[in-house]
Amino acid sequence: MKTILFTDIDDCFIATKKKFLRNERLSIASLDILGNARSYMSDKQKALLELFIRGGTTIIPVTGRSYCTLQRIQVGSLLNSWKIVSHGALIVEPSGDKCQAWLDYLDEEFPLTMWFDKMKKINESVNELIKSQGVEAKSYIVSEGDFACYICVKCTEGVDYQSIFDSILLEAHIDVGSMKIHINGRNMALLPPYAQKRLAVEFLANRLDKYDDHLTFTMGDSLSDIPFMKLADFALIPIKSQIADSLSW
Ligand SMILES: [Mg+2]
Protein backbone atom coordinates (compact mmCIF):
# COMPACT_ATOMS: atom_id res chain seq x y z
CA MET A 1 0.00 0.00 0.00
CA LYS A 2 1.25 3.50 -0.78
CA THR A 3 1.97 5.74 2.19
CA ILE A 4 1.53 9.48 2.65
CA LEU A 5 2.87 11.66 5.46
CA PHE A 6 1.15 15.00 5.96
CA THR A 7 3.59 16.85 8.20
CA ASP A 8 4.05 20.18 9.86
CA ILE A 9 7.64 21.34 9.38
CA ASP A 10 8.83 23.72 12.11
CA ASP A 11 9.43 22.02 15.47
CA CYS A 12 8.81 18.67 13.78
CA PHE A 13 11.55 18.02 11.20
CA ILE A 14 13.44 21.30 11.74
CA ALA A 15 13.78 23.90 14.52
CA THR A 16 15.69 26.98 15.57
CA LYS A 17 18.95 26.39 17.45
CA LYS A 18 17.60 27.23 20.90
CA LYS A 19 15.18 24.28 20.73
CA PHE A 20 18.06 21.75 20.71
CA LEU A 21 20.48 20.58 23.40
CA ARG A 22 23.73 22.53 23.37
CA ASN A 23 25.90 19.60 22.23
CA GLU A 24 23.50 18.18 19.67
CA ARG A 25 24.97 17.69 16.19
CA LEU A 26 22.98 19.81 13.77
CA SER A 27 22.88 20.50 10.09
CA ILE A 28 21.46 23.62 8.46
CA ALA A 29 17.84 23.09 7.44
CA SER A 30 16.58 26.52 6.39
CA LEU A 31 17.79 30.02 5.66
CA ASP A 32 16.39 33.43 6.54
CA ILE A 33 15.60 36.10 4.00
CA LEU A 34 19.26 37.22 3.94
CA GLY A 35 20.54 33.69 3.32
CA ASN A 36 21.78 33.09 6.88
CA ALA A 37 21.13 29.79 8.68
CA ARG A 38 17.80 30.04 10.51
CA SER A 39 16.68 26.48 11.35
CA TYR A 40 18.51 23.23 11.91
CA MET A 41 17.94 19.50 11.79
CA SER A 42 19.29 16.98 14.31
CA ASP A 43 20.59 13.53 13.38
CA LYS A 44 17.42 11.98 14.81
CA GLN A 45 15.15 14.24 12.78
CA LYS A 46 17.20 13.26 9.73
CA ALA A 47 16.88 9.56 10.60
CA LEU A 48 13.11 9.89 10.95
CA LEU A 49 12.86 11.58 7.58
CA GLU A 50 15.10 8.85 6.11
CA LEU A 51 12.69 6.18 7.40
CA PHE A 52 9.83 7.72 5.44
CA ILE A 53 11.96 8.28 2.34
CA ARG A 54 13.20 4.68 2.34
CA GLY A 55 9.61 3.47 2.66
CA GLY A 56 8.72 5.39 -0.50
CA THR A 57 6.36 7.69 1.41
CA THR A 58 4.93 10.76 -0.28
CA ILE A 59 5.89 13.58 2.11
CA ILE A 60 3.55 16.57 2.08
CA PRO A 61 4.40 19.63 4.20
CA VAL A 62 1.43 21.21 6.02
CA THR A 63 2.81 24.48 7.28
CA GLY A 64 2.10 28.02 8.39
CA ARG A 65 4.98 29.11 6.16
CA SER A 66 4.15 30.80 2.89
CA TYR A 67 5.28 28.97 -0.25
CA CYS A 68 8.10 31.49 -0.56
CA THR A 69 9.44 30.88 2.99
CA LEU A 70 8.95 27.11 2.62
CA GLN A 71 11.32 27.26 -0.33
CA ARG A 72 14.07 28.56 1.96
CA ILE A 73 14.24 25.04 3.38
CA GLN A 74 17.43 23.28 2.36
CA VAL A 75 16.06 19.73 2.71
CA GLY A 76 14.96 18.75 -0.79
CA SER A 77 13.07 15.62 0.25
CA LEU A 78 10.56 17.80 2.14
CA LEU A 79 9.77 19.74 -1.00
CA ASN A 80 9.35 17.30 -3.86
CA SER A 81 5.62 16.59 -3.72
CA TRP A 82 2.43 18.50 -2.98
CA LYS A 83 2.65 21.27 -0.37
CA ILE A 84 0.04 22.84 1.91
CA VAL A 85 1.22 26.34 2.88
CA SER A 86 0.09 29.56 4.57
CA HIS A 87 -1.78 27.67 7.32
CA GLY A 88 -3.76 25.71 4.73
CA ALA A 89 -4.92 28.62 2.59
CA LEU A 90 -3.02 27.35 -0.44
CA ILE A 91 -2.27 23.94 -1.95
CA VAL A 92 0.73 23.81 -4.28
CA GLU A 93 1.09 21.05 -6.87
CA PRO A 94 4.33 19.03 -7.19
CA SER A 95 5.12 21.17 -10.28
CA GLY A 96 5.10 24.33 -8.12
CA ASP A 97 1.81 25.63 -9.57
CA LYS A 98 -1.09 26.66 -7.36
CA CYS A 99 -3.72 23.89 -7.27
CA GLN A 100 -6.56 25.39 -9.32
CA ALA A 101 -9.11 22.82 -8.12
CA TRP A 102 -8.47 24.01 -4.55
CA LEU A 103 -8.84 27.68 -5.51
CA ASP A 104 -12.10 26.88 -7.32
CA TYR A 105 -13.34 25.04 -4.24
CA LEU A 106 -12.51 28.02 -1.96
CA ASP A 107 -14.19 30.38 -4.38
CA GLU A 108 -17.39 28.33 -4.17
CA GLU A 109 -17.34 27.80 -0.42
CA PHE A 110 -16.24 31.19 0.97
CA PRO A 111 -17.05 34.88 0.32
CA LEU A 112 -13.39 35.57 -0.51
CA THR A 113 -13.81 39.22 -1.55
CA MET A 114 -15.51 39.99 1.76
CA TRP A 115 -12.65 38.31 3.64
CA PHE A 116 -9.98 40.15 1.64
CA ASP A 117 -11.66 43.50 2.57
CA LYS A 118 -12.12 42.50 6.17
CA MET A 119 -8.47 41.48 6.58
CA LYS A 120 -7.32 44.73 4.97
CA LYS A 121 -9.34 46.73 7.54
CA ILE A 122 -8.14 44.64 10.49
CA ASN A 123 -4.53 44.96 9.33
CA GLU A 124 -4.89 48.75 9.07
CA SER A 125 -6.37 49.06 12.55
CA VAL A 126 -3.70 46.82 14.09
CA ASN A 127 -0.95 48.91 12.45
CA GLU A 128 -2.55 52.12 13.73
CA LEU A 129 -2.60 50.67 17.23
CA ILE A 130 1.03 49.51 16.99
CA LYS A 131 2.01 53.03 15.90
CA SER A 132 -0.01 54.83 18.59
CA GLN A 133 1.22 52.55 21.39
CA GLY A 134 4.80 52.50 20.12
CA VAL A 135 5.06 48.70 20.60
CA GLU A 136 7.78 46.69 18.87
CA ALA A 137 5.69 44.78 16.37
CA LYS A 138 4.46 44.92 12.81
CA SER A 139 1.34 43.64 11.13
CA TYR A 140 0.97 42.57 7.51
CA ILE A 141 -1.16 40.41 5.25
CA VAL A 142 0.56 37.24 4.08
CA SER A 143 -0.42 36.73 0.44
CA GLU A 144 0.31 34.10 -2.17
CA GLY A 145 0.46 36.24 -5.29
CA ASP A 146 -2.81 38.20 -5.19
CA PHE A 147 -4.47 35.70 -2.84
CA ALA A 148 -4.65 37.08 0.74
CA CYS A 149 -4.11 34.19 3.16
CA TYR A 150 -3.98 35.59 6.69
CA ILE A 151 -2.76 38.47 8.89
CA CYS A 152 0.57 38.08 10.63
CA VAL A 153 1.49 40.19 13.65
CA LYS A 154 5.19 39.80 14.33
CA CYS A 155 6.95 41.13 17.43
CA THR A 156 10.60 42.14 17.58
CA GLU A 157 12.70 39.37 19.12
CA GLY A 158 13.06 39.53 22.91
CA VAL A 159 10.01 41.68 23.78
CA ASP A 160 7.08 40.47 25.89
CA TYR A 161 5.12 38.93 23.00
CA GLN A 162 2.11 37.78 24.95
CA SER A 163 1.33 41.17 26.48
CA ILE A 164 1.64 42.85 23.06
CA PHE A 165 -0.75 40.31 21.51
CA ASP A 166 -3.16 40.64 24.44
CA SER A 167 -3.26 44.42 24.13
CA ILE A 168 -3.68 44.26 20.33
CA LEU A 169 -6.56 41.80 20.60
CA LEU A 170 -8.16 43.83 23.39
CA GLU A 171 -7.66 47.35 22.10
CA ALA A 172 -7.73 47.15 18.31
CA HIS A 173 -11.44 46.28 18.61
CA ILE A 174 -10.93 43.53 16.08
CA ASP A 175 -14.19 42.01 15.02
CA VAL A 176 -12.55 38.64 14.58
CA GLY A 177 -15.87 36.84 14.10
CA SER A 178 -15.08 33.48 12.64
CA MET A 179 -11.33 34.09 12.45
CA LYS A 180 -8.99 31.83 14.38
CA ILE A 181 -6.06 33.18 16.37
CA HIS A 182 -2.85 31.17 16.33
CA ILE A 183 0.04 32.33 18.51
CA ASN A 184 3.46 30.75 18.08
CA GLY A 185 6.42 32.47 19.76
CA ARG A 186 6.69 36.03 18.47
CA ASN A 187 4.14 35.50 15.69
CA MET A 188 0.39 35.82 15.90
CA ALA A 189 -1.70 34.73 12.91
CA LEU A 190 -5.28 35.91 12.44
CA LEU A 191 -6.74 33.27 10.17
CA PRO A 192 -9.82 33.54 7.96
CA PRO A 193 -11.97 30.39 7.85
CA TYR A 194 -10.43 29.18 4.58
CA ALA A 195 -6.94 29.08 6.13
CA GLN A 196 -7.29 25.80 8.00
CA LYS A 197 -4.76 23.00 7.70
CA ARG A 198 -7.54 20.45 8.27
CA LEU A 199 -9.60 21.66 5.33
CA ALA A 200 -6.67 21.53 2.91
CA VAL A 201 -5.44 18.12 4.12
CA GLU A 202 -8.95 16.69 3.79
CA PHE A 203 -9.29 18.09 0.25
CA LEU A 204 -5.89 16.79 -0.88
CA ALA A 205 -6.22 13.38 0.82
CA ASN A 206 -9.57 12.83 -0.93
CA ARG A 207 -8.06 13.82 -4.24
CA LEU A 208 -5.06 11.48 -3.86
CA ASP A 209 -7.27 8.64 -2.60
CA LYS A 210 -9.26 8.75 -5.85
CA TYR A 211 -6.35 7.04 -7.58
CA ASP A 212 -5.02 4.76 -4.82
CA ASP A 213 -5.86 3.67 -1.34
CA HIS A 214 -3.26 5.09 1.05
CA LEU A 215 -1.95 4.46 4.51
CA THR A 216 -1.74 7.98 5.94
CA PHE A 217 0.44 9.42 8.69
CA THR A 218 0.34 12.92 10.12
CA MET A 219 2.87 14.75 12.29
CA GLY A 220 2.50 18.02 14.19
CA ASP A 221 3.71 19.69 17.38
CA SER A 222 1.16 22.45 18.11
CA LEU A 223 -2.31 22.05 19.56
CA SER A 224 -3.55 23.83 16.44
CA ASP A 225 -2.19 20.92 14.35
CA ILE A 226 -4.50 18.38 16.01
CA PRO A 227 -7.54 18.89 13.71
CA PHE A 228 -5.52 17.90 10.62
CA MET A 229 -3.59 15.18 12.48
CA LYS A 230 -6.86 13.42 13.31
CA LEU A 231 -7.49 12.77 9.61
CA ALA A 232 -4.73 10.13 9.45
CA ASP A 233 -4.52 6.42 10.19
CA PHE A 234 -1.58 7.09 12.53
CA ALA A 235 -0.40 10.39 14.07
CA LEU A 236 3.11 11.23 15.27
CA ILE A 237 4.19 13.90 17.75
CA PRO A 238 7.65 15.00 18.85
CA ILE A 239 8.04 14.33 22.58
CA LYS A 240 9.22 17.92 23.04
CA SER A 241 6.09 19.63 21.77
CA GLN A 242 3.08 21.64 22.86
CA ILE A 243 0.87 18.61 22.21
CA ALA A 244 3.00 16.24 24.33
CA ASP A 245 3.15 18.85 27.12
CA SER A 246 -0.63 19.09 27.17
CA LEU A 247 -1.15 15.34 27.74
CA SER A 248 -1.39 13.73 31.14
CA TRP A 249 0.59 10.55 30.74
MG1 LIG B 1 5.13 23.41 14.19
Domain-wise residue ranges, the chain: 2-107+195-246, 111-191
Q: How far apart are CA 69 and CA 154, in angstroms?
A: 15
C-beta separation of 142 from 154 below 8 A: no
Query: Which residues does residue 128 pair with via DSSP β-bridges, in sequence order?
Result: none
Q: How far is the CA of 9 from the centre of ligand 1 (A)?
A: 6
DSSP single-letter state for residue 62: B
Q: How far is the CA of 13 from the centre of ligand 1 (A)?
A: 9
Q: How far is the CA of 210 from the centre of ligand 1 (A)?
A: 29
Query: Which residues does residue 6 pair with via DSSP β-bridges, in sequence order?
Result: 60, 218
Q: How far is the CA of 220 from the centre of ligand 1 (A)?
A: 6
* Residue list, CB under 5 A from ion ligand 1: 8, 10-11, 221
- For residue 89, the model assigns a pLDDT of 98
The CATH number given to 2-107+195-246 is: 3.40.50.1000
pLDDT in tens, the chain (249 residues): 999 999 999 999 999 999 999 999 999 999 999 999 999 999 999 999 999 999 999 999 999 999 999 999 999 999 999 999 999 999 999 999 999 999 999 999 999 999 999 999 999 999 999 999 888 999 999 999 999 999 999 999 888 888 899 888 888 777 667 789 998 888 999 999 999 999 999 999 999 988 788 999 999 999 999 999 999 999 999 999 999 999 998
Q: What is the dihedral of CA 148, 91, 112, 167, to 10 degrees?
A: -50
Query: Which residues does residue 42 pair with via DSSP β-bridges, in sequence order?
Result: 26
CATH 3.40.390 fits 111-191, yes or no: no
Q: How far is the CA of 230 from the centre of ligand 1 (A)?
A: 16
pTM score of the predicted model: 0.93
Q: How far is the CA of 65 from the centre of ligand 1 (A)?
A: 10
Q: How far is the CA of 238 from the centre of ligand 1 (A)?
A: 10
Q: How far is the CA of 87 from the centre of ligand 1 (A)?
A: 11
Q: How far apart are CA 137 and CA 79, in angstroms?
A: 31
Residues belonging to the chain: 249
Spacing of C-alpha 112 from chain mean position = 20
Q: How far is the CA of 54 from the centre of ligand 1 (A)?
A: 24
